[in-house]
Amino acid sequence: MSTIAAAATSWSNGQKIAFRIAFIFFISLAIPNSAEWYDTVIHIDWTRLNYRDLYDIARFGSGINIFGDHLFGSTLMGYANWIITLLISIAGGLIWTLIVRRRGTERKEYNTLYYWLRVVVRYRAGIGIIGFGFTKLLPVQMPYPGLGLLNTNFGDMTAQKIFWLSVGIVPWYQVFAGVVECLAGTLLFFRKTTTLGAILLVGALGDIVYVNFAYDGGVHVYSSYFVLLAAFLLVDDLPKVYNLLIRERYTVPVTFYPTLSARWLRVTRIGLKSLTLFLFLGVLFYLQLINFLYDPYKQPAVAGVRTLRGNYAVTEFRLNNKVIPYSPLDSLGWHEVEFENWSSLSFTVNRPTPLDLSNGGGDPQQDVNRTFEITGVAGGRRVFHYYADTVDKVLYLEDKYKAIPDRRNRAGDKAGGRHKGRRQGGDDNGTAKAGISGDTAQGPAATYTSGLEKTPKEAKGKSWIPATALAHIGKEVDQIDPRAASTRRDREYAAAKWEKRNRMILRYDTIDNGNRVILSGVNEKNDSIYIVLDRIDKNFALTESSLQAGKY
């Protein structure tokens, strides 16, 4: 093997300069660029984990952002951060070259440092894609559509919604996609399988980049990020394959592995590697399984009132005691009603309403903030979350729509203000289009510390639900399976305050085993409403999967 070692003992000047630039560039891209990430990781309660804790470790904003994320006044669709980082890396690489030459300390090669740079990139990419992949492997990233979505016209959705749903309707396919992503990530943890993992990653994520551009999915920068890292890992292999197959030459792979002879080095290496595998394959799988079974993160987790669930035709609608006959042109009455398996009431009204065009992702723990059912959906659809007092049969409903949504993208949005008062188109998992910004983990305390506008809170302690009803309703935070309890959930519920939202208080009476439901009470405008609903058994052409998230 002496020839192999010989090939690596001396690098050309060009190679060395390129390496110095690449080193600064990829290290910058591989470490979190905001203090919030570190703060979050420090505050993780390791005794009662939520899948999102590990997910947040795996997903963070990176790249050099001390000079902002704009180039020529534009984020260049989010890629400006890369270019800025590259420019700084070029400058840094040249300065580095200058210094080592002046001091006469220039090395012949960077084999060892290159090896460790590849280790950093491999683990960054591997952990990142596994964090992503597990939300598909246990299919929760793209939920199966609820009744409200099933009853919405195809044309009344954004392209982004259509794509997400097209994966959501085939959970087993989503599992397959998750397996590919997790497999690619796992292969990156081992140096001999790195090439295979990197090829898989380029293939899978390259497609996702294109999907995000085409459907305006918003995760194009983050998915390109993996393509970039994987491409870096393949840089050495492509010339070899070209040499072997196209030029038909005998090809000798040149690989350099440092010898870790010291005992403590070997122990450290094996320890860190084992820890990574244990955390991101073992523990994360378990947490994600719990999430899939009891708390699918985009769907409300608390079960809806059992007797109410289903599709309903509006047989009679009275507004302030005046009957409003059904007409598709009428703008006052409700036209159809669905009670979901979870704590949501969905109905349609033929009156324009501002829409939430985000993608309903992020990490909200409270059911009222889980908005996948309304995001990217028109057609007059309204969705209200309810707290059910099943003793007195009253629903306390809150509109899922908020004029100013919670800031989902925190650490990556330092440039600030750009999304002020506007809906973020952002991503699946909370990232807007600003750089490789992660939806970095947040303790609830940090949630509202940003300078962005936020939905006004009502005075603390003032409840719109009477005390007796609150007692009947119980604590929502505890109404999921105890196995899904986590400190993250507790903290967010504890910090929650009533927000300014549309509200209704409706009494429900069920007749004939819930085949007829009568809702009566006051709507969000304080008008009295009286609605007679008759259950419809719908046979959807879309067939449900054997794999269903959540326990309702």
Partner 1 sequence: MTTDTINANQTAWKAYEKFAFRVLFIYFFLQAVPLDWKYYQQLFSIDWSHLGYGAIFDLAHYEPRWSSGPPAYSDWVILLAIALAGAIIWTAVDARGGGRVTSYDNLYYWLRVIVRYRLAIGMIAYGFIKLFPLQSPYPSISNLNTNYGDFTRWKLFSLSLGVVPTYESFLGGVEIIGGLLLFYRRSASVGAFIIAIFLGNVFMSNIAYGGGDEVYSLYLISLALFVLSYDAQRLVNLLLLQKPAAPNSYHPVFRANGRYVRLALKTVFIFFFVILYGFKTRSGYEKDPYQFPLTKGLRGAAGIYNVSQFIVGKDTIAYSKTDSTRWQDVVFEKWATLSIRSNRPVVLDSDNVERPELTSDARTYELEGSAGRHYYRYTVDTVDHLLTLQNKNPHYSDEKWVLHYDRPGGSRIILSGVTTGKDSVYAVLDRVDKKYLLEEARKKGRQGTISL
Q: CA–CA separation, 398 vs 484, rounded Å?
A: 24
Instruction: Please identify which residue in 103, 248, 459, 460 interacts with partner 1, judged by CB under 8 A.
Output: 248
- Cβ of residue 159: shortest distance to partner 1, in angstroms? 5
Instruction: Please identify which residue in 156, 453, 490, 524 interacts with partner 1, judged by CB under 8 A.
Output: 156
- Cβ of residue 95: shortest distance to partner 1, in angstroms? 35
Element (H, E) at 149: helix 147-150
- 370-389 residues in contact with partner 1 (CB under 8 A) are 376-380
Stretch that binds partner 1, among 82-90, 111-119, 366-374, 423-431 (CB under 8 A): 423-431
By the rule CB under 8 A, 115 interacts with partner 1:
no
Instruction: Please identify which residue in 73, 104, 325, 482 interacts with partner 1, judged by CB under 8 A.
Output: 325
Which residue number, 354 or 456, has a Cβ lying nearer to partner 1?
354
- Cβ of residue 137: shortest distance to partner 1, in angstroms? 14
Instruction: Please identify which residue in 423, 472, 507, 551 interacts with partner 1, judged by CB under 8 A.
Output: 423
Cβ atoms < 10 Å from Cβ of 461: 7
To 5 degrees, how large is the angle CA 120–CA 7–CA 234? 40
C-alpha 231, offset from chain centre: 24
What size, in residues, is the chain? 552
Which residue number, 43 or 454, has a Cβ lying nearer to partner 1?
454
- Cβ of residue 212: shortest distance to partner 1, in angstroms? 10
Instruction: Please identify which residue in 62, 81, 346, 424 interacts with partner 1, judged by CB under 8 A.
Output: 424
Looking up tokens 């390259």, which residue turns up? Answer: 206
Looking up tokens 């979505």, which residue turns up? Answer: 149
Stretch that binds partner 1, among 67-75, 78-86, 293-301, 319-327 (CB under 8 A): 319-327
Instruction: Please identify which residue in 46, 72, 154, 264 interacts with partner 1, judged by CB under 8 A.
Output: 154
Q: Is 398 helix (H, G, I), strand (E, B) or coil?
A: strand
Q: Residues with Cβ < 8 Å from 242, sequence gap 6 or more?
A: none
Instruction: Please identify which residue in 115, 176, 294, 448 interacts with partner 1, judged by CB under 8 A.
Output: 176
Written as six digits, the tokens of 24 are 């600064």
Bridge partners (DSSP) listed for residue 311: 338, 536
Closest to 386 in 3D by CA, of 307, 446, 304: 304
Which residue number, 10 or 153, has a Cβ lying nearer to partner 1?
153
Which residue number, 149 or 284, has a Cβ lying nearer to partner 1?
149
Write the binding mask 446 to 485 for partner 1: x where contact by CB under 8 A, - elsewhere: ----------------------------------------
Residue 40 exposure: Cα atoms within 13 Å on the Cβ side: 28
Closest to 54 in 3D by CA, of 288, 268, 295: 288
- Cβ of residue 240: shortest distance to partner 1, in angstroms? 6
Q: CA–CA separation, 402 vs 502, rounded Å?
A: 9
Stretch that binds partner 1, among 84-92, 260-268, 273-281, 419-427 (CB under 8 A): 419-427
Which residue number, 116 or 256, has a Cβ lying nearer to partner 1?
256
Q: Tell me the three-class secondary structure of 47-72, residue by residue.
A: CCCCHHHHHHHHCCCECCCCCCCCEC
- 201-240 residues in contact with partner 1 (CB under 8 A) are 203, 207, 210-211, 213-216, 218, 237, 240
By the rule CB under 8 A, 546 interacts with partner 1:
no
438, 537 contact by CB (below 8 A): no
- Cβ of residue 111: shortest distance to partner 1, in angstroms? 15
Which residue number, 33 or 358, has a Cβ lying nearer to partner 1?
358
What sign does the CA torsion over 497, 452, 492, 356 have? positive
What DSSP designation does 342 have?
B
Q: φ and ψ at 383, to 5 degrees?
A: -130, 125
Q: CA–CA separation, 49 vs 530, rounded Å?
A: 45
Instruction: Please identify which residue in 66, 246, 262, 467 interacts with partner 1, judged by CB under 8 A.
Output: 246
31, 64 contact by CB (below 8 A): no
Write the binding mask 299 to 318 for partner 1: x where contact by CB under 8 A, - elsewhere: --------------x-----
Q: CA–CA separation, 276 vs 172, rounded Å?
A: 27
- 343-362 residues in contact with partner 1 (CB under 8 A) are 352-355, 357-358
Element (H, E) at 201: helix 194-215
Which residue number, 171 or 443, has a Cβ lying nearer to partner 1?
171
Stretch that binds partner 1, among 60-68, 325-333, 494-502, 523-531 (CB under 8 A): 325-333
Which residue number, 318 or 393, has a Cβ lying nearer to partner 1?
318
Instruction: Please identify which residue in 151, 186, 409, 440 interacts with partner 1, judged by CB under 8 A.
Output: 151
Q: Which residues of 248-261 are buried (b: 16+ CB within 10 A; e: fewer)?
A: eeeeeeeebeeeee
Which residue number, 77 or 99, has a Cβ lying nearer to partner 1?
77
Which residue number, 85 or 195, has a Cβ lying nearer to partner 1?
195
By the rule CB under 8 A, 540 interacts with partner 1:
yes
Instruction: Please identify which residue in 181, 295, 336, 389 interacts with partner 1, judged by CB under 8 A.
Output: 336
Q: Which residues of 308-340 are buried (b: 16+ CB within 10 A; e: fewer)?
A: bbbbbebeebebeeeebeeeeeeeebbbbbbbb
By the rule CB under 8 A, 46 interacts with partner 1:
no
Which residue number, 20 or 408, has a Cβ lying nearer to partner 1?
408
* Residues touching partner 1, count (CB under 8 A): 80
Q: Residues with Cβ < 8 Å from 179, sequence gap 6 or more?
A: 133, 137
Instruction: Please identify which residue in 59, 335, 400, 407 interacts with partner 1, judged by CB under 8 A.
Output: 335
By the rule CB under 8 A, 541 interacts with partner 1:
yes
